[in-house]
Amino acid sequence: MIKSKMKNIHLLPTDKPSKLTKNNLGKLIKLNGLQYQEVNINQHIYITSDEEIKEGDWVICWGGDYKNIEIVKLNKDNYTHWIIDAENYKKIILTTDPDLIADGVQAIDDDFLEWFVKNPTCQYVEVKQPFTPSSMVYGINTNPYEIIFPQEEPKQETLEEYINEVTKNFNDEMSVKFTSGGIKLGAKWQAERMYTEEEVLDMLPKFAAYTLINADERSRLPLDKWFEQFKKK
């Protein structure tokens, strides 16, 4: 069984054809085969493991701020750099990226894609690679990987877990405090602009009353203009 305490599902935007895309509302959509979306933002999934990384493997790597994420193939030119900075590299074992699939990385099947579209907050999935005597070739298990679908609703990452992930490679306490403070302020700002169920239920009768008073279509304000009166500033 291949396990990892950190997330192993990485969803990254791409300007190439994909089976997944995000619309302008951020909703993940499964496409019918490989397509290029001009309006939406196509996405690729990369599932990683803690397996030993070898020359020739495709890996996902990131900088200390976890922002500069790259997908690279280890070769003679960059292999030495990986040895020095190995903790920031993870081996890619499954993907939807056609370029990697063409180079031997196993494709993620449609069953998982359909499940993931319904569970887009999932960040970790268990993967196993069944062992049989005949699957061993030069000491390597050649059987395909199998994704174990979570039986429970995936747990959403907490703010503290996210901060720990972002700052895990920071070398000084000041940088950790500065970054943590910025993330918390951003989360607070976002939370203050979100609406609770009670607030939405309070606005619905007001909108119903508005539509009754303004029965004439020509006298109605557009919905966004009406919402301006009640939205959080």
Q: What is the 3-state secondary structure (H, E, C) of 56-96?
A: CCEEEECCCCCCCCEEEECCCCCHHHHHHCHHHEEEEEEEC
> Do the Cβ atoms of 30 and 113 come closer than 8 Å?
yes
Identify whether residues 202 and 125 lie together within a single domain: no
Give the end of a domain, one of 125, 153, 181.
153
Report pLDDT digits (tens) over 6-24.
789 999 999 999 999 998 8
Identify whether residues 50 and 139 lie together within a single domain: yes
Give the end of a domain, one of 123, 153, 183.
153
pTM (predicted TM-score): 0.59
Identify whether residues 13 and 113 lie together within a single domain: yes
* CB atoms inside a 10 Å sphere around CB 122: 18
Residue 3 within any structural domain of the chain: no
> Do the Cβ atoms of 59 and 82 come closer than 8 Å?
yes
Q: Is the pLDDT of residue 39 over 50?
A: yes
d(CA 142, CA 80): 27
Least confident of 46-55, 158-167, 184-193: 184-193
pLDDT at 4: 42
Residue 166 within any structural domain of the chain: no
Report pLDDT digits (tens) over 182-233.
888 877 777 766 666 666 666 666 666 666 555 555 455 555 565 666 665 6
pLDDT at 228: 65
Q: Which amino acid does the sequence have at 150? A: P
Identify whether residues 73 and 125 lie together within a single domain: yes
What is the domain extent for residue 205? 197-228
Return mean pLDDT, the chain: 77
Residue 109 within any structural domain of the chain: yes
Least confident of 51-60, 103-112, 154-163: 154-163
Number of domains in the chain: 2
Identify whether residues 46 and 139 lie together within a single domain: yes
Identify whether residues 57 and 121 lie together within a single domain: yes
Greater confidence (228 vs 59) lies with 59
Greater confidence (165 vs 29) lies with 29
Identify whether residues 126 and 209 lie together within a single domain: no
Residue 176 within any structural domain of the chain: no
> Do the Cβ atoms of 71 and 100 come closer than 8 Å?
yes
Residue 192 within any structural domain of the chain: no
pLDDT at 218: 47
pLDDT at 74: 82
